[in-house]
Structure 1
Amino acid sequence: MSSHHFVKEQQEPAVFILDASQIQFDQISSLLEWVPTVLVAENSLDRVLSWGIKIDVILASDTFQEENKHLLEEQYPVKFLTATLDTALEEGLQYLVASKHFAAHLIGIPHLKALELESKTEFMDLTIIDGDWKYYPVKSGKFRKWFSESEIHIHAKEGLPIEIDNENGKLILPISYTTFLEVPEGITEINSSSIFWIGEKIR
């Protein structure tokens, strides 16, 4: 390992890997190009290490830390953060907020957890990668984007009314458990009185 390493200034979105089992390296390699801070939960560590990427923080139980002290040297300057599988997401996000990261990609968490993360979106920009889908919040409630003809997913509190405007016309509908929307090529505008998340297929 080279004795010099990049000084990270938290300008790049952190990459926080909670579950790598459904993720291929090529899905996230572009997120690593600018040497972001990388956090990994212990259950995904072996898979992520096999990708040969530099890890900064390992979220792990006391037992795991005790049994894997060698990682502190092999992955220097890595640090351990104590967490269980149930608390890893919260502990990792608290660490990122405290260390003044302004954005993070969350890899391998169910998009259904997005609504639980809304208090964190006040402090940082979050993107969720769940399988083949990428989700990001529209905090202002106003969204406008050019799409090729495709399917998107709108995720928000059940029953939240949203207004959709594109080549197909104008539509107002309440969000249900899974609101998938076929969008035509061109600009789609989506407006609501509250935060919602947009999901796009990434491959």
Structure 2
Amino acid sequence: MSSHHIVKEDQEPALIIAATDRIPSSLLNQLLEWNPIVITDGRNLEHVVQLGIKVDVLVTDEPADLSQDHVFVLPLTTSFLDTALTYLIKRGCRAANILSTDVDPNLLLRYAAKIQVVLLSNGRRTFVVKSGFTKWKPKGESVFLHSNQVIETKGLQQTGENEYITAHDGFYSIHFDQSHGLVGEQI
């Protein structure tokens, strides 16, 4: 987008920060570029604030010492991520990025019908796709399939358990037994 475009509230994906360690600052800066809604929990609040990030929503079940103004405190109802995603869905957000190092990628499938969620974790970008998903990639790119389902692939060579590389420059495709599955890529 060029600088003359207007960004409407909730148009950009929200950013849920469940961990900041091992997250490259360049990636964090890209995610913060368009001033998304930022949600974190009490465990990560201090570090997020130290990084100079403005927190919009704090999910916690304990009293918090807030050093920033205008932070909405959201009571923890289930897990942090379930509480944050439920809040975003009720708010009408259509997409969210999750920064974490220890999230079960299957969480994304639970919310696939309500919000588009991308998990950025341990050097990978994991996202939900529909069966029949196709994408163009150069030869030799890594693709990770998080699934216990029977999977049919075209244009991919398996290199390990749920690990593939693109066989050639061009499109690859993935078919799952169910309507959706999870794909991961190196970031």
Taking structure 1 as the reference length, the TM-score comes to: 0.79
Name 2:47's counterpart in structure 1: 47
- 1:147 Cα shift? 1.2
- 1:19 Cα shift? 1.5
Name 2:111's counterpart in structure 1: 120
Runs (4+) of structure 1 exceeding 3 A deviation are none
Structure with max Cα Rg? 1
CA distance in 1, matches of 2:116, 2:101: 16
Among 124, 132, 139, which residue is 1:142 paired with? 132
**For 1:133-160, what per-residue CA distance to the aligned partner results, in whole angstroms no more than 9, with x for missing partners?**
110110x21211111222110012x2x1
- 1:109 Cα shift? 4.7
1:200 and 2:185 equivalent? Answer: yes
Q: CA RMSD in A?
A: 2.4
CA distance in 1, matches of 2:115, 2:15: 13
- Specify every segment of 5 or more residues in structure 2 that has no aligned partner in the other structure, as ranges: 1-5
Instruction: Report the AA paired with residue 88 of structure 1.
Output: F
Instruction: Report the AA paired with residue 166 of structure 1.
Output: G
CA distance in 1, matches of 2:84, 2:177: 30
Contact 1:17 1:107 in 2 (8 A): yes
Name 1:90's counterpart in structure 2: 82
CA distance in 1, matches of 2:82, 2:101: 12
Q: Figure out how many residues of one structure are paired with residues of the other and give that number.
A: 178
Taking structure 2 as the reference length, the TM-score comes to: 0.85
CA distance in 2, matches of 1:24, 1:36: 18
Name 1:3's counterpart in structure 2: none
Instruction: Report the AA paired with residue 181 of structure 2.
Output: F
Name 1:181's counterpart in structure 2: 164
Distance 1:7 1:187, change over 3 A: closer
Q: Secondary structure at the match of 1:97?
A: helix
Task: Kindly indicate which of the two structures has a greater share of residues assigned to helix.
Answer: 1
Report percent identity of matched pairs: 26
